[in-house]
Chain A
Amino acid sequence: MDQVIAFFSFADINTRFVVLGSMLLAVSTAVVGCFSFLRNRSLSGDAVAHAVLPGICLSFMLTGTKNPIYLLIGAFITGWLSLLASDYLKRKTKLKEDTTIAIVLSVFFGIGIVLLTAIQQSGEASQSGLDKFLFGQAASLVGPDLIVFASLAIVLLLATFLFFKEFTLLSFDKGYAVSLGLPVKFLEILLSSLTVLAIVTGIQAVGVVLMAAMLITPAAGARFWTDSLVKMIWIAALLGAVSGFAGAFISYVGPGLPTGPWIVMVLSGLAILSFFFAPKKGVLFLYLNQQKHRRKILTENVLKAFFHAGEVEELHKNAKTEAEIQVIRPMKPEELSYALRLLRRSYLVRKTGTTTWQLTDKGFIQAKRVAKLHRLWELYLATYLNLPPDHIHDNAETIEHIITPQVEQWLEQQLNYPKTDPHGETIPY
């Protein structure tokens, strides 16, 4: 608990740095990642992330220092080389993109691991910590290092803001962008460079192995919440910020818990939550929507059964037993009692005995409408689609539940308020 308080008081300057650094990195990669996601370049982001490792190692071997600027330059160069290599392979061979990316990723990463092992075995004292680039260490985001990474993150955000219009068009319709005379080559190189830069800066926090998650997961999660690109980018940035913060917090409270993987864990958690709970597109929403439809179908079918039973006796107001309804429309007893409970709650039926029920006035109007829609639709199918009588009933069983009042009016007018359906049954108005 003390640690929680200590964390949120931000008394320790290093805590402030680490939190700020993690959030900035997560936000900037999330924003740039939105365009990788929209251009279907998620995989190539992963390849670049792995391909920066040899660059970091080579820089270290050449300069002998761990100065982040040199390491970043090395990382940037090999990251870009991996993009060019994958592109070249795709153009010059008949290999598909997933194959070229897989080749490039493993070759570059393999070289990186070889170099890293060589550095470690050379026993140079200053090499300790280079392997942090494998899984990242946000806790090392302090002092001058932070300034370098933070400035890069701000450059990324600024560039995305300035070229937002062009990047959007490039991602949506490249050919059209060319036809407008936009400098598409330049924009492509710029966007790729920003992506490589985002990856390179993020490496410090989460490492090469998990970097692709930082780039793509926020965009993928944000896509569930909105259909607007601007909103999507803000939501992705928010997801990035929250997970950057949470990652820093968790690793502060639990010593030995690494920041990077926790950022990715939180991010993945948020993306999964989006997948389940986002309105309109989330799995839960879709499920609830299905349930709503099922309830509508069930209750309307029971209402219709009441109407049919009343039609036989020509006495709609009389109470019916559950057994009578079952004769008209057989269903599981628990389904029927569920439907009756729902109908009663909306004042469409009232209970008159232990198993007897009666339509209310409101219920009768609705029951009549369902029966009418069924028969109107049957007539429509028979008239306009020339379907034989045995083809129309099952279709109408579904369609009767989704016809809106407007369509109902069109049907009535187009069929000119018909009296009977193709089976000779009266259409009630």
Chain B
Amino acid sequence: MIIHTPKPVLEVHDLTVSYNSKPVLWSVDITIPEGVLAGIIGPNGAGKSTLIKAIMGLLPMASGFVKVFDKPLEEVRQRISYVPQRESVDWDFPASVFDVVLMGRYGKLGLFKKPNAEDRDIAMSSLEKLGMANYATRQISQLSGGQQQRVFLARALAQQADVYFMDEPFAGVDVATETAIIELLKELRAEGKTVLVVHHDLQTVTEYFDWLIMLNMKLVASGPSEKVFTKELLQETYGGRLTILSKIGDLLKNEQFPIRER
């Protein structure tokens, strides 16, 4: 069940993504309305992170296009914020918590310019929103997993964007952090921002999200939670791989075959 929306904030059209010629996401079509808190769910290897990485332009698309606010991504980067998985960086890097949060301002600053007092204020209040103000001068290698995640979210907030893509912000964090994050997400939604979150925990799905994207190498469903969070669709999402689809993927990889003729 794929429910489309007339004036989408995010439009993904016929998106296919391959790793080493093997498609991991097949022809995904999604439209997301403004101001929703959307969860991206699916089993391991379903392509959840791949989807947002491809939308952010971090992975090449084998087919399709992405539009945000009806424009190509490059034109609206300033309005989009991305929170990578926290394992994706080396936390031994010589930087303080504040240094990292200030990076959220770099996109707006442009080349050669140094962050000014206003940028610092924004970074500090972003840290405050995540209850991390006391940690501003702390070296990042001393943070716990939950604190690392809060730092990444504060950095994203400092961008003052309108759309947020978050890759597993709830993975491996403590209960207090999870609560703090979900409060923040609801606050963002109340401000009319759109948030897409890769999520793992089915228990909390309906409580957290009002829109769901259900993936398993293909798009199973996309729509309001109350409509798509059904037994049948969950069964389809989590009930194992489509054997023939996987087989074709392996063939493409083994033969190094292109997914589009071109």
List residues of chain A with CB under 8 Å of any chain B CB: 38, 162-163, 165-166, 168-169, 171-173, 175-183, 223, 226-229, 232
The 8 closest A-B pairs by CB, nearest first: A180-B107, A181-B77, A179-B82, A227-B139, A229-B94, A173-B89, A179-B56, A172-B93
B182 interfacial by beta-carbon distance below 8 Å: no
A172 near B77 (CB under 8 angstroms)?
no
Q: Which residues of B contact A171 (CB under 8 A)?
A: 93
> Quick one: which of B63-118 are within 8 Å of A by CB?
74, 77-78, 80-82, 84, 88-90, 93-96, 99-100, 103, 106-107, 109, 111-112, 114-115
Q: Given A171-B93, A228-B94, A228-B96, A176 and B139 touching (CB < 8 A)?
A: no
B103: nearest chain-A partner, CB-CB: A169
- CB < 8 Å neighbour of B106 from A38, A165, A228, A232: A165
Closest to A38 in B: B93
Q: Are B84 and A173 in contact (CB under 8 A)?
A: yes
Are A176's CB and B82's CB within 8 A?
yes
Contacts from B to A (Cβ < 8 Å): 53, 56-58, 74, 77-78, 80-82, 84, 88-90, 93-96, 99-100, 103, 106-107, 109, 111-112, 114-115, 139, 141, 155, 159
Chain B contacts for A232, CB-based, 8 A = 94
Q: How far is the CB of A47 from chain B (nearest CB, A)?
A: 22
Contact B106 A178 (CB under 8 A): no
- Indicate which residue in B57, B84, B93, B115 contacts A176 across the interface (CB closer than 8 Å): B84
Which of B58, B78, B96 is close to A175, meaning CB atoms less than 8 Å apart? B58
Closest A residue by C-beta to B165: A179
A179 to B111: give the CA distance in the assembly, Å: 15
Q: Given the interface contacts A165-B114, A173-B88, does A178 sit within 8 Å of B94 by beta carbon? A: no
- Residues on B with C-beta less than 8 A from A172 are 89-90, 93, 95, 100, 103
- How many residue pairs link A and B with beta carbons under 8 A? The number is 74
Complex Cα spacing A181 to B111, Å: 11
Q: How far is the CA of A357 from the CA of B109 in the complex (A)?
A: 69
Q: Given contacts A162-B112, A175-B88, A178-B57, is CB(A227)–CB(B77) below 8 Å?
A: no
A148 vs B78: C-alpha distance in the bound complex, in angstroms? 41
**Given known A-B contacts A173-B89, A176-B84, A227-B139, A181 and B95 have beta carbons under 8 A apart:** no
Distance to closest chain A CB from B189 (angstroms): 21
Interface of B, helix, strand, loop or mixed by DSSP: mixed
Give the residues in chain A near B84, CB-CB below 8 Å.
173, 175-176, 179
Contact check, B77 vs A179: say whether CB atoms are below 8 A apart: yes
The answer, among A165, A166, A178, A227, for a CB contact under 8 Å with B58, is A178
The residues of B that contact A163 with a CB separation of less than 8 Å are 111-112
Contacts of B78 in A (CB 8 A): 181
- B115 contacts across to A, CB distance below 8 A: 165
A107 to B99, CA, bound (A): 41
**Alpha-carbon distance between A163 and B81 when the two chains are bound, in angstroms:** 22
A232: nearest residue on chain B (CB-CB)? B94
Report the nearest B residue to A163, measured CB to CB: B111
> Can you report 29 A-B residue pairs in the complex whose CB atoms are below 8 A from each other?
A163-B111, A165-B106, A165-B109, A165-B115, A166-B106, A172-B90, A172-B95, A173-B89, A175-B56, A175-B58, A175-B82, A175-B84, A176-B82, A176-B103, A178-B56, A178-B58, A179-B56, A179-B57, A179-B81, A181-B74, A181-B107, A182-B107, A183-B111, A223-B94, A227-B95, A227-B96, A228-B94, A229-B94, A229-B95
Known: A165-B109, A227-B94. 12 other contacts (CB 8 A): A38-B94, A166-B111, A171-B93, A172-B100, A176-B84, A179-B57, A179-B77, A179-B84, A180-B159, A227-B95, A227-B141, A229-B94
Q: Is the CB of B77 within 8 A of A180?
A: yes
Across the two chains, which residue of chain B brings its CB closest to A165? Answer: B106
Bound-complex Cα distance A180 to B76 (A) = 10
Task: List A contacts of B88 (CB < 8 A).
Answer: 173, 175
Chain B residues near A177 (CB-CB < 8 A) = 106
Closest to B114 in A: A165
Complex Cα distance, B112 from A162, in Å, reads 6
How many angstroms from the CA of A228 to the CA of B100 in the assembled complex? 12
In the assembly, what is the distance between CA of A178 and CA of B107, in Å? Answer: 9
Chain B positions within 8 Å of A227 at CB level? 94-96, 139, 141
Cα distance A172–B100 in the bound complex, in angstroms: 9
Give bound CA distance, A401 to B37, whole Å: 49
Q: How far is the CA of A171 from the CA of B100 in the complex (A)?
A: 12
| Residue in B closest to A161 when the chains form the complex, CB atoms | B112
Give chain A residues whose Cβ lies under 8 Å from the Cβ of B96.
227-228
A residues within 8 A CB of B155? 176
Chain A residues with CB under 8 Å of B56's CB are 175, 178-179
> Which residue on A lies nearest to B109, using beta carbons?
A165
Chain A residue nearest in CB terms to B141: A227
A126 to chain B, nearest CB (A): 44
Q: Contacts A178-B57, A179-B58, A181-B74: A173 and B94 contacting too (C-beta < 8 A)?
A: no
